[in-house]
Amino acid sequence: MIIYDLICEHEHSFEGWFKSTEDYDRQLAEQMLCCPVCESSQVRKVPTASFVVTRDTRSSRKNANSESMKPIESNAKQQTIAKLAQLASYLIKNTEDVGRNFTEETKKMHYGETEQKSIRGQATLEEVKELNEEGIDIIALPGTIIEKDKLN
């Protein structure tokens, strides 16, 4: 089961539940998807992914850069996946889930309106671009990589 954030031509956003990506494609093609607010079938997927922002993003980024970047050998791939899973579960355990308020909360912290804390949540590509332009570093949560070929 997968959940997509969907949006209609009138910018109403809602969630759609699908058995698979193929199920989503099929329902979209057959115009079976419609907005619960205005019943428009002009519906598209909002590309989102999970991101985290932590109090020490900057310093951990610096540490990562100072380490020499070793090329990943193919037989080490399994290990890398395990490490990413470990990192993901660490981040999930140590951050507060703010869901779709991620962008807003991140900005509030950046401008000192709220206390600095480690949070995670969903953001669209558009929002990520916005945050980057404001000089805010966020980390994509491993395992939630955006399907680049499915954008737009």
Based on the shown chain and the rule CB under 5 A, indicate whether residue 12 belongs to the binding site for Zn ion.
Answer: yes
Based on the shown chain and the rule CB under 5 A, indicate whether residue 145 belongs to the binding site for Zn ion.
Answer: no
Closest to Zn ion by CB, 38 vs 82, is: 38
DSSP three-state, residue 7? strand
Based on the shown chain and the rule CB under 5 A, indicate whether residue 42 belongs to the binding site for Zn ion.
Answer: no
Q: Are 35 and 23 in contact (CB under 8 A)?
A: no
Q: To the nearest whole angstrom, how small is the minimum distance from the Cβ of residue 41 to Zn ion?
A: 10
| Whole-angstrom distance, CA of residue 121 vs CA of residue 46 | 15
Q: Are 8 and 42 in contact (CB under 8 A)?
A: yes
Of 5-13, 94-102, 105-113, 135-143, which segment contacts Zn ion by CB under 5 A? 5-13
Beta strands in 56-143 (DSSP E): 96-99, 119-124, 139-140
Closest to Zn ion by CB, 31 vs 144, is: 31
Q: Tokens standing for 90?
A: 């660490």
Q: To the nearest whole angstrom, how small is the minimum distance from the Cβ of residue 93 to Zn ion?
A: 37
Report the relative pairing of strands 48-53 and 139-140 from DSSP bridges. Answer: antiparallel
Q: To the nearest whole angstrom, how small is the minimum distance from the Cβ of residue 14 to Zn ion?
A: 8
Based on the shown chain and the rule CB under 5 A, indicate whether residue 77 belongs to the binding site for Zn ion.
Answer: no
Q: To the nearest whole angstrom, how small is the minimum distance from the Cβ of residue 12 to Zn ion?
A: 3
Q: To the nearest whole angstrom, how small is the minimum distance from the Cβ of residue 127 to Zn ion?
A: 20
Q: Tokens standing for 107?
A: 């900005």
Report the relative pairing of strands 13-18 and 43-45 from DSSP bridges. Answer: unpaired
Question: By the criterion CB under 5 A, which residues form the site for Zn ion?
Answer: 8, 10, 12, 35, 37-38, 40
